[in-house]
Amino acid sequence: MIYKGRFRTVRHKDHAVPAPLPRPLLGQASFLDIRAWRHAGTTPLLLVTSPRKAGGAVQRNRFRRQVRMAFLAGLDALPSHPWVVWVRPARMAPPLDTIRFQDIESQLRLALRRLPASDTP
């Protein structure tokens, strides 16, 4: 993920979503839906989706910033292969303004630890 010279968020056509979507890395009790797949690039990419029904623009932008900062903090847990990590609120997630940064960080760190380190996805 290249952002401000060093890291950048995923833009349109930077990635290709696989035809059968990968399974979520966390269970149904989680309030984040995190999925990941490998890509042909050299750096990991972060894709954050926050739909309008999840909250207003201020809450959605805050959620995206928090996920980005949690992802940057947890990059050491990411296996060496380039991944596209897709994060979005789960269906049963509470309103975005009630989700704390510590919760986002802990769930994202747990999901990144569950990624396989071998060559098979």
DSSP state of 77: G
Two structure tokens written together for 85: 């990590």
Strand partners, 38: 83
- Over the chain, what is the mean pLDDT? 80
Identify the three-state secondary structure at position 34: strand
Query: Residue 4 has what pLDDT?
Result: 47
pTM of the model: 0.79
Cα–Cα distance, 13 to 49 (Å, whole number): 15
CATH class of 2-12+22-113: alpha beta
> With left for phi above 0 and alpha for psi between -120 and 50, is residue 83 left, alpha or beta?
beta
Query: Residue 38 has what pLDDT?
Result: 84
Cα–Cα distance, 73 to 53 (Å, whole number): 28
Cα–Cα distance, 69 to 57 (Å, whole number): 18
